[in-house]
Amino acid sequence: MSVIWRNRVIGLLFAVALYVVDQLLKSHVVDTLGMKLGDSREIVSFFNFTLTHNYGISLGMFQATSMEMRWILVAVTGLIALVVLVWMLREQVLGDILGLSLILGGALGNIHDRYNLGYVVDYADLHFGDFRPFLIFNVADAAITIGVVIILARSFLVREKAPNPDEQPAGKAAENGTHA
């Protein structure tokens, strides 16, 4: 197996592992802890499990207020996940692949919830006193955000090395009429 395909397989396995962890944590909050909508349990002084249902997408936007909207959100997010998968399978560098796998794994976790429940289970409540820097979220949301930041950072900060004209492959040198 080539290094490129090894990186892609690692990315796929990472996305699946993230999906599994996301679903296990959601199950723990809802089933094991038996939390109901609105329940809150302090984990540490600045972090609670607070169960909410998110009928929208990012930051609660585009609320699915009807069955049709629910299925439109499932279809649109499914299409986005498919685009991310294809993108990931075209990438070669592990850093790019891992950023995309975070987005893919997170998207799959939230799509699974929306498909089965009609909403996404959110529970992670980070706060500093009354200050909450984020809405209540879940592992999938965090992974998507981190993945997007990685992709953006790599696109702005990592530059591909420009090929050196003195280091042409032998075939190119022959085409140009020069000797290697």
> Which phi and psi (to 5°) does residue 36 adopt?
-110, 165
Rg, C-alpha atoms of the chain: 21
Residue 15 Cα to chain centre, angstroms: 8
Among 53, 21, 46, 31, CA closest to 140: 21
Active-site annotation, residues: 122, 141
For tokens 């984990």, the residue is 43
Report how far residue 106's alpha carbon sits from residue 139's, in angstroms, rounded to the nearest whole number. 7
**What tokens were used for 12?**
């796929």
